[in-house]
């Protein structure tokens, strides 16, 4: 018999309904695995009581035939989602001691569908990072290792704990959030599927805000089908988020079976960046071949403003962050530093102690680009170029149904690498940021290995609110890539 | 643009983040590098291009102006460093 931790969400759901095992057994198997794999630092907090109570309630519902869509499915939650009665840290010291007394809409939707919480996962502080090394609670270790040097690697970020936990079979699925690539890039680094929906698809209510015009929640899972299943129960209109879009949530799982014959996949030449890793390029060409094999037609497209996306992002996201993070002042909740009793001293001592180096850097960049005299030159300029980036995609989608690119410019790197130069870290998001700025859905699918035994992902980008086409095409890549993630699962078992 | 120490100190003060003197040089260099990198946008022609502040072309929804929440003072105060009679008690923040 396969281990319960090796089941996908779809398989776990079927097994629970067929009473092959109980939700309690399923939760216990994961809790045991989590305890044994604490060295990865993927979870910031394990919630065994909550998991077992939820599992027992699920077992009762299954016994009486009242099972809901995700009844008894155990999930990990990125510690950026507020969870009622469970401490929420955003991996920052500044939220020290904070326990929300309300639930984020996305997690509430999941619990309402019967899912069970295993714990809260590690992340880059306030989701600002591409390596999970900015967490106040220490880095997450990627369950994958390079063949050549066996050094501990980053899982990517910011949803690094979620991606590592899914890859190491410490949960079958997890929530993530994506502002510039924080679901897709760690998914690529850890050999799992990560889906960022259209901006507005999932409510942002109860998610600690980073850059509000970009933040979006989505699933991280081991299969495309599982991401489709989870997204259906995360998404939906929410009057408590004014940017949540009132439109029907389709059955994404049904989209998996869609015929692809005749669909057009766009290949943007601007993503073939200078000095591109030949292995990444080769994988991209393979992906094009797979989609042709699935009956699709490959079309060369132009996205002329691609190279401007990162600088635009590193103006807009810090600007929004500097404003969102102004609320952390040590007055009403969270960390308050020792101070001399003067108000300014309390603010400054609290914020320099409470925020890590990367968060302080971004707040300062954001403060600068919004400051008097510089607003037009930086912030307004970036907003205008954002329009051009968005128009590029709109034009491209007049002639293609979906766009295929690599997810990241390379595989996972060692913990500590790329730390001396912020810009080299920012470049990790070069392929994911453009879709974020345009608000478009994107998915990373594990598609192959580099020469050193590390996973690499391919990204699909679709028009707004057409996650269904994206999921259908992703499934075609998944089927042809035949990716083997068992090395990470073995690492998770300590083997 | 290259930032000098005085400018970094001014930004830090605006952001209410304490930066000690020995950190100023390094920070000035780091922030300057990032700014020089983002200034590549100056080469893009944005004449007659409207700024984009949101992606979804959303119209804000209207609702009745009525109370939809409240009567949960214990929850509101649960994370307060100190509370008294249903109020936060905090250091003096208004002159």
pLDDT tens profile A217-255: 999 999 999 999 999 999 999 999 999 999 999 999 999
**Is there a contact between A385 and B11 if contact means CB atoms under 8 Å apart?**
no
Element (H, E) at A162: helix A160-167
- Condensed to tens digits (0 to 9), the pLDDT of residues A245-293 reads 999 999 999 999 999 999 999 999 999 988 888 999 999 999 999 999 9
**pLDDT of res. B87:** 94
Element (H, E) at A321: helix A309-324
Is the backbone peptide bond immediately before A158 cis, with ω within 30 degrees of 0?
yes
Q: Is B55 on the interface with A (CB under 8 A)?
A: yes
**pLDDT of res. A2:** 79
Distance from CA of B93 to the nearest CA of A (A): 6
- Condensed to tens digits (0 to 9), the pLDDT of residues A179-222 reads 999 999 999 999 999 999 999 999 999 999 999 999 999 999 99
**pLDDT of res. B92:** 85
Domains defined for chain A, CATH in brackets: 11-260+443-492 (3.90.1300.10)
Average pLDDT for B44-58 = 89
Mean pLDDT of chain A, nearest integer: 97
**Is there a contact between A423 and B33 if contact means CB atoms under 8 Å apart?**
yes
Closest-approach residue (CA) in chain B for A341:
B91
pLDDT at A1 over 70: no
Average pLDDT for A310-328 = 97
Contact of A422 with B32, CB cutoff 8 Å: no
**pLDDT of res. B91:** 87
Closest-approach residue (CA) in chain A for B68:
A240
Distance from CA of B85 to the nearest CA of A (A): 15
Phi and psi, residue B58, nearest 5°: -80, 145
Q: Which of B16, B30, B90 sits opposite A347 (nearest CB)?
A: B16
Token pair, residue A44, equals: 């910031």
Residues of A455-478 as b/e, b for ≥16 C-beta within 10 angstroms? bbbbbbbbbbbbbbbbbbbbbbbb
Average pLDDT for A91-98 = 97
Q: Which of B11, B55, B76 sits opposite A364 (nearest CB)?
A: B11
The top-scoring range by mean pLDDT among A24-28, A418-422, B88-92 is: A24-28
Q: According to the 3-state scheme, what is the secondary structure of chain B?
A: CCCCHHHHHHHHHHCCCCCCHHHHHHHHHHHHHHHHHHHHHHHCCCCCCCCCCCCCCCCCCCCCCCCCCCCCHHHHHCCCCCEECCEECCCCCCC
pTM: 0.97
**pLDDT of res. A495:** 64
Exposure of A288 in the CB half-sphere (CA atoms within 13 A):
15
**pLDDT of res. A350:** 97
**pLDDT of res. A153:** 98
Q: Is the ipTM of this complex over 0.85?
A: yes
Query: What CA–CA distance (Å, rounded) separates A487 from A155?
Result: 15
**pLDDT of res. B47:** 96
Query: What CA–CA distance (Å, rounded) separates A33 from A38?
Result: 9
Contact of A104 with A138, CB cutoff 8 Å: no
Residues of A394-405 as b/e, b for ≥16 C-beta within 10 angstroms? eebbeebbbbbb
Chain A to chain B Cβ contacts (< 8 Å): 153
């Amino acid at each position: 018999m396969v281990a319960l931790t090796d089941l996908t969400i779809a398989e776990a759901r079927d097994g629970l309904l067929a009473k092959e095992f109980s939700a309690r057994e399923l939760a216990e198997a994961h809790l045991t695995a989590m305890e044994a794999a604490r060295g990865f630092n993927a979870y910031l907090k394990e919630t065994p009581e909550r998991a077992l109570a939820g599992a027992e309630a699920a077992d009762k519902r299954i016994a009486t035939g009242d099972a809901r869509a995700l009844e008894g499915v155990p999930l990990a939650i990125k510690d950026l989602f507020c969870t009622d009665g469970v401490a929420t840290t955003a991996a920052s010291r500044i939220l020290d001691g904070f326990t929300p007394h309300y639930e984020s809409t996305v997690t509430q939707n999941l619990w309402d569908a019967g899912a069970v919480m295993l714990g809260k996962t590690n992340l880059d502080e306030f989701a600002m990072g591409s390596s999970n090394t900015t967490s106040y609670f220490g880095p997450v270790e990627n369950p994958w290792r390079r063949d050549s040097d066996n050094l501990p690697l980053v899982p990517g970020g910011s949803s690094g704990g979620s991606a590592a936990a899914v890859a190491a079979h410490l949960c079958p699925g997890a929530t993530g959030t994506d502002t510039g690539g924080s679901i897709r890039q760690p998914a690529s680094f850890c050999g799992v599927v990560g889906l960022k929906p259209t901006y507005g698809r999932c409510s942002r209510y109860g998610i600690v805000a980073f850059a509000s015009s970009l933040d979006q929640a989505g699933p991280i899972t081991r299969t495309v089908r599982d991401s489709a299943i989870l997204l259906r129960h995360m998404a939906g209109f929410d009057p408590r988020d004014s940017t949540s879009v009132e439109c029907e949530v389709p059955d994404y799982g049904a989209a998996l079976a869609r015929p692809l014959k005749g669909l057009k996949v766009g290949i943007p030449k601007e993503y073939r960046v200078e000095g591109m890793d030949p292995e990444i390029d080769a994988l991209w060409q393979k992906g094009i071949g797979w989609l042709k094999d699935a009956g699709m037609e490959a079309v060369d497209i132009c996205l002329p403003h691609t190279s401007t996306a990162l600088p635009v992002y590193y103006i807009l996201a810090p600007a929004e962050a500097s404003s969102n993070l102004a609320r952390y002042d040590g007055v009403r909740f969270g960390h308050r530093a020792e101070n001399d009793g003067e108000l300014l001293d309390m603010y400054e001592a609290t914020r320099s102690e409470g925020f890590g180096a990367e968060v302080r850097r971004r707040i300062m960049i954001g403060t600068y680009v919004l400051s008097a005299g510089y607003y037009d030159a930086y912030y307004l300029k970036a907003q205008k170029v954002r329009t051009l980036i968005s128009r590029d995609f709109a034009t491209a989608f007049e002639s293609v149904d979906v766009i295929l690119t690599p997810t990241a410019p390379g595989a996972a790197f060692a913990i500590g690498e790329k730390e001396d130069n912020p810009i080299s870290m920012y470049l990790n998001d070069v392929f994911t940021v453009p879709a974020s700025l345009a608000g478009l859905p994107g998915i990373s699918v594990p598609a192959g290995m580099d020469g050193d035994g590390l996973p690499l992902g391919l990204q699909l980008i679709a028009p707004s609110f057409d996650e269904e086409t994206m999921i259908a095409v992703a499934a075609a890549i998944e089927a042809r890539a035949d990716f083997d993630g068992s090395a990470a699962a073995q690492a998770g078992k300590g083997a | 643009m290259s930032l000098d120490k005085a400018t970094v100190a001014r930004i830090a003060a605006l952001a209410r983040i304490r930066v000690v003197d020995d950190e100023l040089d390094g920070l000035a260099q780091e922030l300057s590098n990032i700014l020089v990198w983002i200034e590549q946008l100056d080469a893009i022609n944005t004449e007659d291009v409207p700024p984009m502040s949101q992606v979804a072309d959303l119209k804000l929804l209207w609702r009745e102006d009525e109370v939809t929440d409240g009567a949960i003072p214990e929850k509101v105060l649960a994370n307060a460093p100190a509370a008294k009679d249903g109020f936060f008690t905090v250091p003096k923040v208004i002159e």
